[in-house]
Structure 1
Amino acid sequence: MTLRSGQHPLTSRLLLAYALPAVVLAALALPLYIVVPTFYVSTLGLPLGAVGFMLLAIRIVDAIADPAIGWLSDRISARAGRRRTLFLVASAPTALGAFMLFWPPDDAGLAYLALWGTVLSLGYTGTLLPYSAWGAELANDYSGRLSVSAWREGATLIGTVCAIGLPFAVGDGALSSPVGLQPLAVFVAVFLPFAACVAFLCVPEPQDRSRHRLSLGDAGRFLAANRPFRRLILAFVLNGFANAVPATLFLYFVGQRLEAPQWSGPLLLAYFVSGLAGVPLALFSARFLGKHRAWCIAMAVACAIFAVAGFLGPGDVYLFVAICVATGLMLGFDLVLPPAIQADVIDQDTASSGEQRSGLYFAAWSLATKLSLAAAVGIVFPLLALAGFSGEGNNSAEALNALSMLYAWLPIPAKLAAIALMWRFPIGEVEQRALRQKIEAM
């Protein structure tokens, strides 16, 4: 596929080099958001409520830094390119923070979690924001952006599968044990710098379409006036919260509700392998139905299937396998389609403002992601504590029922609200083509 306006061809070699860092970033993200809370509570013995509060505080600090990092990604002046340079520099503290957080000393406490959790979160943001903006600018057309997103998110799922499988290859297979996290610490510390260098050397910086630079106040006003973006970001927050709730509670649900902790790794593996299979399905559906309609249908299907999980109890592992596979297919839609829609929404701003500010938009995107994750941890853990739930086990029937309801049913209203926002989304392929023609004529 050849791009217009001097853009580089989207060859398989270029897309592979661009997607490679996503493998490592995903292997980092799974333990950061799913395993670390359980590990620091169950293995290191830290209080459940204190860990939830600390992780919420880290997310808030990180979220405050998002606009600054996004602005820097748009404004940095570097011969190698504004996206590529910041991405490469930020990958080093990300690798270090991952190693320290995933391989803590036996006496690590809340202060240790706060320090290295903050280093990793800020480094991860500094790596991911320019990386995402870089990908949004690699293609100018509606379907080309689907391809870039599919390669990156397919690599993300491969990295997630690696994060799940590595503990089985070298240890006891338990993600939340030291033997499970330590191999991931080494993997991220070694391969993130390598993948970052490959992408930096092999993937060019796209042309900056900015005609002038806006003040920070004007930039904020144009962003706030972008109605398609407001709808998309709200839908993304709602869907992100809906996905973060079961992700946060997954290990507890499998270990204590289903009474099958040894199945946690295989179930996660089934879910994310199914997500990888869902990537081509998402591509096909989006090209036939349009990105936003395909995403809405996938969210509706996920709600219908996942609601059954609230009725499961001890021994219902095989039924839960089927649920994981079916909803995993829908995960491919959640990963591929919203970033591709986001790239189209940025065109709306570039055409109106005259400045290409993908970094600022993906900073807002990142902030929305972190708010949804923070809300999941900050709301769900205290609710579990109020229900009398203990991360160490020996829970009452009422506490386990609360776990099931939060895990399976709390996400559904949020997903339904996201569908309502996106069903009549105003930017499709025809509208996006008109926006690109306006930008290229400027």
Structure 2
Amino acid sequence: MTQPAPQPRQSAVTCFYYAVPALPMAAIALPLYIIVPSFYAAAFAIPLAAIGGVLLAIRLIDAVTDPLFGWLADRVTCRYGRRRGFFLSSVPLTALAAFMLFWPPADAGLAHLALWGTALSIGATWTLLPYTAWGAELSDGYHDRVRVSAWREGATLVGSLLAISLPFVGGLERADAFHGLAWIAVFVAVILPLAAGLAVWRVQEPVDRSVRRLSLRESLSHLAGNRPFLRLAAAFLLNSFANAIPASLFIYFVTARLDAPGWEGPLLFSYFLAAVAGVPLAVWTSARTGKHRAWSISMTLACLVFSGAGLLGEGDAAIFAVICVATGLLLGYDLALPPAIQADVIDNDTVRSGEQRSGLYFAAWSFITKLALALSAGIVFPLLGLAGFSTAPAASQSATALQALGALYAWLPILPKLAAIALMWRFSLDEAEQKRLRTLLA
């Protein structure tokens, strides 16, 4: 079979239109797992344990829907194409579920949370997997893939800033008014369909490089035999776990260790704002050192900068703000570079297997992200409890508990990051190897 011509370098305008849907999509995740539990508990008198059980069940459903939608994203096609069509068909469910969950009626209860929370999780997975696969296949160039990823992740960070700001600007005190979560509901319900339609209209369907279709057994066999993917996946899991640890402990570190209640919002905002600036910095660095080296350098710097947080204590909130800005810049590298490396890894699989299966690979990517979050919560909180730390409001903490909090927050993440650096520093799939793979595909 004669392969199609290589994809051209994507213009900034094309990258912009592709990235726009990431803005409302990013406004879904943070409210779902950070604001929704406390809001439903306070507004509808639902026990936190019951809410936690529902959210855990939704996570278990994710374990089924991630590989299912990854497989479907590589199989289903329509008049708009394999990626664009499957992506566009998911948007009505995602937009409706977000609207219903974030702006619940006055008589909402646990059943409403379970129904629309599950619908939103399914819809968001259905939307995200073909969307990220679309971006991975949009360009063939080693460095151009970083640009496409950077545009998407930059939009994701802006959406995260909106998700942090809008609920608190709108207020969360009353459920029978146009509260802060309702702002998010309207934003997603209106902007997501418009952004998705604009992207499908203005951004082309990527070339499908498949020359055969694999059975499920063959597909899994090739995935397990893709050594660059296994190495990248291990590094991504380790680094994601390292990032999830301080994310899980952030509020406790600020309020208990630094004794700075009220600083959580401004510090988080400065962190994500710095990450927006870090994305173009990651593009610039990777163009000079290569993607895997740029990512490794950023992780090394993050270890050095973040280690200082373990030495901070009461009254050091201003110093911690500087650390948040510095590590936020480096977060831009974590967001922009690994997905661009993943696109190269998929090339390796396509050459060997004959089928381009970006959907399945990004489903594995999604599973790794969620596994890292689960590992963080399952390891860190029991260790904090063993040190005598109390999560009760206004609880008095012992010196031992505060020391353990500082060590877990700042120093424990260094170990998995160092392991990730060791895996990626001599990563075999560099620019020269990627060009060789593209030649074979052509």
Indicate the residue corresponding to 1:58 in structure 2: 58
Equivalent AA in structure 2 for residue 392 of structure 1: P
The 5-angstrom pairing of residues 163-178 of structure 1 reads 163-167=163-167, 169-171=169-171
Say whether 1:428 aligns with 2:430.
yes
Tell whether the 8 Å contact from 1:59 to 1:371 is kept in structure 2 after alignment. no
Contact 1:172 1:179 in 2 (8 A): yes
- Aligned-residue offset at 1:85: 1.6
The residue type equivalent to 1:281 in the other structure is L
User: 2:138 aligns to what?
Assistant: 138
2:397: which partner in 1? 396
Q: Does residue 317 of the first structure (1) align with residue 326 of the second (2)?
A: no
Name the CA shift for 1:43/1:329 in 2 (closer, same or farther; >3 Å).
Answer: farther
The CA deviation at 1:436 is 0.3
Q: Identity across aligned pairs (percent)?
A: 59
Change (3 A) 1:59 1:403: farther
Q: Check conservation: 1:228, 1:427, Cα contact below 8 A.
A: yes
CA contact (8 A) 1:52 1:381 kept: no
State the Cα deviation string for residues 237-260 of structure 1 (Å, max 9, x = none).
111111122223323332343333
Decide which moves more: 180-189 or 376-385. 376-385
Quick one: structure 1 residues 183 and 382, their matched pair in 2 at CA, closer, same or farther if it must change by over 3 Å? farther
State how far apart, in whole Å, the 2-side matches of 1:247 and 1:421 are. 23
* Mapping for residues 19-418 of structure 1, pairs under 5 Å: 19-36=19-36, 54-104=54-104, 112-167=112-167, 169-171=169-171, 179-384=179-384, 387-397=388-398, 398-418=400-420
Decide whether the 8 Å contact of 1:34 with 1:248 is kept in 2: no
Contact 1:139 1:145 in 2 (8 A): yes
Checking the alignment, whether the CA contact within 8 Å between 1:54 and 1:114 is kept in structure 2 is yes
Listed one character per residue, the Cα deviations across residues 217-253 of structure 1 (whole Å, up to 9, x for unaligned) are 1011011000000000111111111112222332333
Describe the superposition over 1:288-325 as per-residue Cα deviations: whole angstroms up to 9, x where unpaired: 11111110111111122112223333332101100100
Structure 1 gaps of 5+ residues are: none
C-alpha distance in 1, partners of 2:244/2:97?
22
Structure 2 counterpart of 1:404, one-letter code: G
Aligned residue-pair number: 434
1:140 deviates by: 0.4
Show CA shifts across 1:254-275 (max 9, x none).
Answer: 2343333322221111111111
Q: SS in structure 1 opposite 2:262?
A: helix
CA RMSD of aligned residues (A): 2.7
Residue 17 of structure 1 contacts residue 202 of structure 1 at CA under 8 Å; is this kept in 2? yes
Contact persistence 2:6–2:140 (CA under 8 A):
no
Q: State the alpha-carbon separation in 1 of the partners of residues 36 and 251 from structure 2.
A: 11
d(CA) in 2 for partners of 1:334, 1:38: 29
Deviation at 1:406, TM superposition (A): 3.1
Per the normalisation by structure 2, the TM-score is 0.90
Q: CA deviation at 1:96?
A: 2.8
Evaluate the alpha carbon distance shift between residue 410 and residue 39 of structure 1 in structure 2; reply closer, same or farther with a 3 A threshold.
farther
**Contact preservation (8 Å) 1:62, 1:118:** no
Q: What is the CA-CA distance between 1:388 and the residue it aligns to?
A: 4.8
Q: Quick check: 1:70–1:359 contact (8 Å CA) kept in 2?
A: yes
Per the alignment, do residues 321 and 379 of structure 1 end up closer, same or farther by CA in structure 2, a change over 3 Å counting? same
TM-score by length of 1: 0.90
Distance 2:111 2:41 in 1: 14
CA contact (8 A) 2:70 2:361 kept: yes
